[in-house]
Chains A and B, each alone.
Chain A
Amino acid sequence: MEKFITLNGLVAPLDRPNVDTDAIIPKQFLKSIKRSGFGPNLFDEWRYLDHGEPGMDNSKRPLNPDFVLNQKRYQGAQVLLGRDNFGCGSSREHAPWALEDYGFRCVIAPSFADIFYNNCFKNGILPIVLDAAIVEQLFQETDASEGYSLDIDLSEQKVTTPAGESFAFEVDEFRKYCLLNGLDDIGLTLQRVDDIKAYEQKRKAEAPWLF
Chain B
Amino acid sequence: MTGKTLYDKLWDAHVVSQSDDGSSLIYIDRQLVHEVTSPQAFEGLRLANRKPWRADANLATPDHNVPTTGQAAGVEGIVDLVSRLQVQTLDSNCDDFGITEFKMNDPRQGIVHVVGPEQGATLPGMTVVCGDSHTSTHGALGALAHGIGTSEVEHVLATQCLIQKKSKNMLIKVNGKVGPGVDAKDIVLAIIGKTGTAGGTGYAIEFAGEAITDLSIEGRMTVCNMAIEAGARAGMVAVDDKTIEYVKGRPYAPAADQWDAALANWADLHSDADAEFDAVIELNAAAIQPQVTWGTSPEMVLAVGDKVPNPADEADAVKRTGMEKALAYMGLAANTPINEIAVDKVFIGSCTNSRIEDMRAAAVVAKGRKVADNVKLALVVPGSGLVKQQAEAEGLDKIFIEAGFEWREPGCSMCLAMNADRLEPQERCASTSNRNFEGRQGQGGRTHLVGPAMAAAAAVAGHFTDVRELD
Contact = CB atoms under 8 A, between A and B. Distances in A.
A93 B197 contact: no
A208 B261 contact: yes
A186 B155 contact: yes
A207 B265 contact: yes
Interface in A176-211: 177, 184-186, 188-190, 192, 195-196, 199-200, 203, 206-210
- Identify the 5 closest CB pairs spanning chains A and B, nearest first: A209-B254, A93-B149, A122-B151, A173-B21, A33-B39
Interface in A23-41: 23, 26-28, 30-35
13 contacts: A45-B443, A88-B197, A115-B149, A123-B151, A172-B23, A173-B22, A174-B21, A189-B155, A196-B159, A196-B161, A199-B17, A208-B258, A210-B126
Contacts of A15: 321
Given A177-B21, A186-B158, A206-B265, 11 more contacts: A22-B437, A27-B416, A31-B86, A31-B418, A33-B89, A92-B149, A111-B201, A115-B233, A122-B149, A207-B261, A209-B123
Interface string B297-336: 1000000000000000000001101100100000000000
Contacts of A123: 151
A190 B158 contact: yes
B235 interface: no
Contact of A196 (B125, B160, B232, B438): B160
Contacts of A161: none
A147 interface: no
Given A28-B418, A114-B202, A22 B435 contact: yes
A83 interface: yes
A54 interface: yes
Contact of B19 (A54, A113, A174, A203): A174
A84 interface: yes
A118 interface: yes
Contact of B148 (A16, A35, A115): A115
B439 A45 contact: yes
A196 B16 contact: yes
B17 A195 contact: yes
A122 B151 CA distance: 7
Contacts of B231: 85, 88, 113-114
A143 to B, nearest CB: 14
Nearest to B164: A118
Interface in B1-41: 16-17, 19, 21-23, 25, 27, 29, 36-37, 39-40
A17 B258 CA distance: 50
A120 to B, nearest CB: 9
B48 interface: yes
B198 interface: yes
A20 interface: yes
Interface centre among A88, A89, A200, A209 (most CB of B within 10 A): A209
Secondary structure of the B contact surface, majority rule:
loop
B37 A91 contact: yes
B225 interface: no
Interface residues of A, number: 60
A209 B151 CA distance: 28
B17 A22 contact: no
Contact of B82 (A31, A113, A209): A31
Nearest to A92: B37
Contacts of A78: none
A107 to B, nearest CB: 15
Interface string B94-126: 000000000000000000000000000001011
Interface in A44-79: 45, 51, 54-55
Nearest to B163: A185
B160 A34 contact: no
A195 B123 CA distance: 24
B322 A195 contact: no
A142 interface: no
A16 B323 CA distance: 10
A16 B321 contact: yes
B427 to A, nearest CB: 14
Nearest to A199: B16
Interface string B433-453: 001011110010000000000
A20 B133 CA distance: 12
A176 B159 CA distance: 21
B149 A118 contact: yes
A64 to B, nearest CB: 13
Contact of A18 (B86, B135, B322): B322
B262 interface: yes
A149 interface: no
A66 to B, nearest CB: 12
A16 B198 contact: no
A172 B147 contact: no
Given A91-B148, A172-B23, A174-B19, A189 B439 contact: no
